[in-house]
Structure 1
Amino acid sequence: MPDQEHTRTRDPDRLRVVAAIIVSAGEVLACRRNPERSAGGLWEFPGGKIELGESPQSALRREIHEELNTAIEVGDQVTIDVTIVEGRAIELTCFRAYLLSTRPSRSTDHDQLIWISPSELERLTWAAPDIPAVRVLVAEARES
C-alpha cells in the first residue's frame, strides 16, 4: 500500500507517533528506554513522532534510521491505539517492519536492545502505548 500523506489538521493535544515491530529470524526487536528519558526503563518498539506533512510510513523509516542507523521496509499496520499518559493522548500506530541491512546493535534513545520471541514479549515491562501491540503479537504467537 503506498504511503498516505496526512492532510487533516493536527489535534494539538494528541501526540501522533509510530513504532516498528521489526521482525528478523522469527524474533522481534524490543528496546528499553534510556533511564533519563520519559518512560525510562520501560520497553517499547522503536519509532517516534510523525512530523507535519509526513506519512506514518515515512516517519517510521526516518525515525528508525535516526535511532538505530538501519533501513527498514514498512509492512502492514498491526495496531492504532490512543493511550493517555500523564494527561496527554498518545496515538501510536504500529507497523510490522523488516530489516534491509544488518540487525542494529545500539540506539540513540535506548540503553538496551534485545531480540525476543513474540510468545515471550509479556515478560518485559512495556510502556503503556505499546501494550496493545504486544497483546496482538502474543495472541498471534499462541495461534500459530
Structure 2
Amino acid sequence: MTQPLVVVAAVIERDGWILACRRRPEKTAGGRWEFPGGKVEAGEDPEEALVREIEEELGVGIRITGHLTTDETDAGDRVIRLTCFRAELEGAGPVASTDHDRLVWLEPASLAGMDWATPDLPAVRLLTGSAPE
C-alpha cells in the first residue's frame, strides 16, 4: 500500500471571517473551494511546510495558532492526509494566489454553502458545527 500524500492547509481567520480559495480550473479539483496550503516536503515539519506554502501561494505571512483537524480522504488513486491548522495573518491580507482564481472572506456559517474539495470537508463541518455526512 502506498503512503498517503501528506498535505497541510491554513484556516486563516481575520475578525471572525475565514479565507476560502477557489482552485484554478486547470488544477486538480478545479473550481472547488479549499483552504490554502500544500504538500509537506521531505524533512519539513507540517507547520514549517504550511508557512512556506502560504508564502509561495498567497505572498503573505501567517502565524499558526492551533491544530484544527487531521483526516484521510480516498482520492481515487491515492489517499490524502490533510492537516488543517488555524492561522492568523502577519500583516496585510492576500490579494492574489498562484493556485486559485478567487479568494473570499466568509463568515463561518457561510462555508457550508460552497462547493468544497473533498479533503477539506471535515474541517468545514467542524467550523460550521454541522454533522458529518
TM-score normalised to the size of structure 1? 0.88
Query: Equivalents in 2 of 1:25, 1:71: separation in Å?
Result: 17
- Name 1:120's counterpart in structure 2: 110
CA contact (8 A) 2:2 2:78 kept: no
5 Å-filtered alignment, 1:45-64, equals 45-64=35-54
How much has 1:87 moved relative to structure 2?
2.3
The root-mean-square deviation of aligned C-alpha atoms, in Å, is: 1.2
Secondary structure, aligned partner of 2:44: coil
Aligned-pair identity in percent equals 52
TM-score normalised to the size of structure 2? 0.95
CA deviations 1:92-119 (Å, max 9, x no partner) are: 0000000001110110000000000011
CA contact (8 A) 2:6 2:40 kept: yes
How much has 1:25 moved relative to structure 2?
1.1
Counterpart amino acid of residue 67 in structure 1: E
Counterpart amino acid of residue 89 in structure 1: V
Q: Where has structure 1 moved over 6 Å in runs of 4 or more? A: none
Rg larger for: 1
- Give unpaired runs (5+ residues) of structure 1: 1-10
How much has 1:12 moved relative to structure 2?
4.5
Query: Equivalents in 1 of 2:43, 2:19: separation in Å?
Result: 28
Matched, 1:65 2:65: no
Counterpart amino acid of residue 38 in structure 2: G
Query: Equivalents in 1 of 2:42, 2:2: separation in Å?
Result: 12
- Name 2:125's counterpart in structure 1: 135
How much has 1:82 moved relative to structure 2?
0.2
Query: Equivalents in 2 of 1:79, 1:58: separation in Å?
Result: 17
91-100 or 78-87: which moved more? Answer: 78-87
